[in-house]
Amino acid sequence: MEQGTITVAEALALPTLRRGLPEVLVGGDALRRPVRWVHAGEAPNIAALLKGGELLLTTGLGLGSRPAEQRAFVRGLADRGIAALVVELGSRFTTLPAAVADTARSCGLPLVQLHREVPFVAVTEEIHTELVNAHYALLRRAEDVHRRCTEVLLGGGGVPEVLRLFADFAGNPVFLETPDGRLLYAAGPHTPPPAPGTADPLQVWAGLRASAAGLPGSVLADIPGGPGRLGGGAGGAAGGGTDAVRARLVVLPVHGPLAPVHRIAADRAAGLLAVVLMRARQEEELAARGRGDFLTDLAEGRLDAVDASGASDAAALARVLGFRPGPGPLLPVVMRTANDLVPAESWAVLAAALQEELAGVGAPVLLGVRLPEGRVPLLVGLRGEEDRPAVADRVAEALRAGAGRAGFRPPVVVVGAPATWETAGAGLRHAAEAAQAAEPGEPGGTSWYDVRRLDVDVLLWRLRSHGDLAAFVQRVIGPLLAHDAASRPALLPTLEAYLAHAGRKAETARELHLNRQTLYDRLGRIGRLLGTDLEDPEAVLALGLALRARRHVG
């Protein structure tokens, strides 16, 4: 049953019709048909006055006396698509003619006879009251969704959060597309979670929407906007072209049918989204967040690397997002912003700046943004593994340039090992952890960190919440930290430089601008404070680990 209506069965159960002792002669299996309206009439040509969905009340005066007339009368009603025919016995018939019942059966039209007289005006009033109440309940549900979407936006959420809320409400995937059909963002329902094996929203888009197959019963709502906002693709919804439509909200009935309440709520949500999209570069940010969600799902193992036929499922979904690398390996890259708190409006500027800078790296790039973690994951297509250093240089420089244009401090850029689609997710996950563990700044004179040189930092970062790590730092270098907090000169930089140069005193002294005797004195003081021998390899290993772990435990 559609929401906002009542069914034939519900109408027959109302008190006024129940008093007529209704008997269903035909169509007992079709009593869940929705009733849009109630009409009473006796004219032979009454079918011409109906629009469909009516419950028709009659005493049978317009049925005619000959079987041919009766069959034509019933067929006309069935062709109009009325909900059901209800005939009151007594005035015209004591029992319905066989021609009426047989024709209703062949047309699939529910046929009901009333054995007692009832006032048709009372039936009409009662059913119309139920319809108005049902429609009011429908509007209240749509208004509730509109209120929740508004609260999401006022609470700092954006278009993705609204789309995810709407997907939960509809129980179906929701998409935001440009007027020319380019996908901006896809969201699937999470409450209740889809059944196992349910297609990912991107898979739905690739299989149905992108192939122009669509689904019957889909809901589309145009989002108005100014002219020329989205690049002027051809097309647009009926009643407006790309100059009038900025984007389009699409709900596909994949998991279940959509009801009128979903159409009403979609129109209201479209009005909210129009206001949000008025902010500059919102389309770029949305597309980047959609790609970021895909890359995060890939990294966290929520996507199948290959489908049942052995073809790369992730690669197919990436093509939907515009990423078409060649047959060579993939290069996972993760950028972490150095800014601790990023204003929501800055992400749109950052996404646009990064996309523009990356356009010149000479390799296919899939760029995403992840606001919750404050990072930017990427996949880059390589011709061969030997291209990794040069491509990594160009990508890292583009990322740093884009971040600078958007007003961000120099970011941390971590480049993973070359991967296939089967291993790209693990590579992205490893690079993301390494980006969290890496220290901001120039990584050894280059613009990017090699993930393979950060394995120790990743291990320590994973242990950051364990009290044992903090205890280890305190046990190994605690006296030195206490000294530097109370006395000068600080000795910690001397130890760090000494270990960085693998114990080579001449190079250490040169970096610290110290003469050798001063360096020897400081190293002696460090050894005495820590009670350790700085020439002992085991002691040096512990000191190096403690210094690196210190960043992760505060």
Q: Provide the residue range defining the domain that includes 479.
A: 463-550
- 317 lies in the same domain as 336: yes
Flag whether 136 is in a domain. Answer: no
Q: Are residues 291 and 266 in the same domain?
A: no
Q: Tens digit of pLDDT for each residue in 126-184?
A: 888 877 777 677 778 888 888 888 888 888 778 888 899 999 888 899 999 888 888 88
Say which CATH number the domain at 167 has: 3.30.450
The sheet that has 84-88: what strands, in order across it? 22-26, 111-114, 84-88, 54-58, 37-40
Residue identified by tokens 């930290």 is: 481
* pLDDT greater than 60 at residue 2: no
How many other C-beta atoms can be found within 10 angstroms of the C-beta atom of residue 356?
Answer: 14
450 and 310 belong to one structural domain: yes
Query: What CATH number should be reported for the domain holding residue 34?
Result: 3.40.1390.20
452: domain CATH number?
3.30.70.100
Q: Do 11 and 114 fall within a single domain? A: yes
124: in domain: yes
pLDDT tens by residue, 246-282: 889 999 988 888 888 888 889 888 888 888 887 656 7
Specify whether 115 is located in the same domain as 176.
no
pLDDT at position 304: 66
Q: 514 near 437, Cβ under 8 Å?
A: no
Domain boundary among 216, 246, 278: 278
Average pLDDT over residues 532-552: 89
Based on the fold, state whether residues 447 and 476 are members of the same structural domain. Answer: no
Within a domain: residue 150? no
Q: What is the pLDDT of residues 369-392, one digit of tens each?
A: 988 788 899 999 999 999 999 999
pLDDT of residue 344: 65
Give the end of a domain, one of 278, 305, 335: 278
Q: Is 359 helix (H, G, I), strand (E, B) or coil?
A: coil
Residues 183 and 92 in one domain: no
Residue after which a domain boundary falls, among 404, 433, 459: 459
Asked if residue 133 belongs to a domain, the reply is no
Indicate the number of domains in the chain: 4
239 shares a domain with 214: yes
CA distances from 193 to 142, 161, 174, 220, 421 (A): 22, 17, 15, 23, 26
Nearest to 377 by CA among 308, 433, 443: 433
Pair 439, 377 in one domain = yes
Is 141 inside a domain boundary?
A: no
467 in the same domain as 448: no
pLDDT at 78 over 50: yes
* CATH number of the domain within which 471 lies: 1.10.10.2840
Range from 71-75, 366-370, 458-462 carrying the lowest mean pLDDT: 458-462
Quick one: 271 and 353 in the same domain? no
Q: Which residue has the higher pLDDT, 107 or 240?
A: 107
Compute, in degrees rounded to 10, the torsion defined by CA atoms 219, 225, 231, 236.
40
Q: According to the model, what pLDDT value does residue 365 have?
A: 95
Q: Quick check: is 225 in a domain?
A: yes
Whether residue 242 has pLDDT greater than 70: no
Report how many helices (DSSP H) and strands (DSSP E) the chain contains, helices first.
19, 16
The single-letter code of the amino acid at 552 is H
| Same domain, yes or no: 388 and 242 | no
Confirm whether 149 is domain-assigned: no
In a domain, 137, yes or no: no
